[in-house]
Structure 1
Amino acid sequence: MTVTSAQTADGALLDEPAKRLLASAKTAGDRAAAQALVEEETILAHRSVLSVLGLLDTPAWSPVRWEGLTGRVYSLGLDEEQRAFLGLTLSMVGIGQVTLAAVTDLGERRLAVMLRAIARLAGNDTLAVGTRV
């Protein structure tokens, strides 16, 4: 399911920073990365991440600063799995050099979010990602 500017894939309402992040996405990479971060939820819960992105205590018209995250990944208070997810997400917007092998550090939930993001990046919003029964 595509994440809209009002709710996540599971129907939860978005807060203002998440709405701004999604609204700021202009390219396919930006959209895939923004939706992945919104779906993942825990990374955007860190004030440090919101601050570096320019989504905290800034005017609504100010740009999102993806590049600000690159040099600060280890100082944001994220755990190893969150850092791996963030690195993969940043690679979607053309920032950083994280290999696809970083998916081995992701748990099942974050892996599913990342797989949906990769499908979106490829222009496929209909590919089902989940457990087969």
Structure 2
Amino acid sequence: MKKVADILARKQRDLISVAPSHTVLDALKIMSDNNIGSILVQEDDKYLGIMTERDYARKVILKGKSSTDTIVEEIMSTDLPRISPDTSIEECMQLMSVNNIRYLPVFNEQQLMGIVSVNDVIKAVITTQAETISHLQSYIHS
């Protein structure tokens, strides 16, 4: 059974973050520059939450707020379930489905390790299925 550690091993290890006092526009520019849909919110290397594209759409755009006047702290998600590198891919899927979320912060004890996205989980499932198919084909043809 694949674990979050397997996903993290394949991902870029740089943790991209903004301070809660940054403007939403600044955070969006960083997200765009790095081709990511969420960004960690940290202050003095302490995890505070995650700002996502969904946060932006629902808490800024749909409320008629300005991206230049709104700070990240006002819209970030702070109540996301935390997972560990030992969490299974199946458990990630369950958490994402039940909570209707697309991102999960990964912690090893109290240390932030990264973010797992729904796309990361889908890729892991597809990879596992492809490996299973390959093994079954090898078994059938041997």
Please classify the TM superposition score into its range, dividing by the shorter chain length: 0.3 to 0.5
| Greater C-alpha Rg | 2
TM-score by length of 2: 0.32
Report the structure, 1 or 2, having the larger helix content.
1
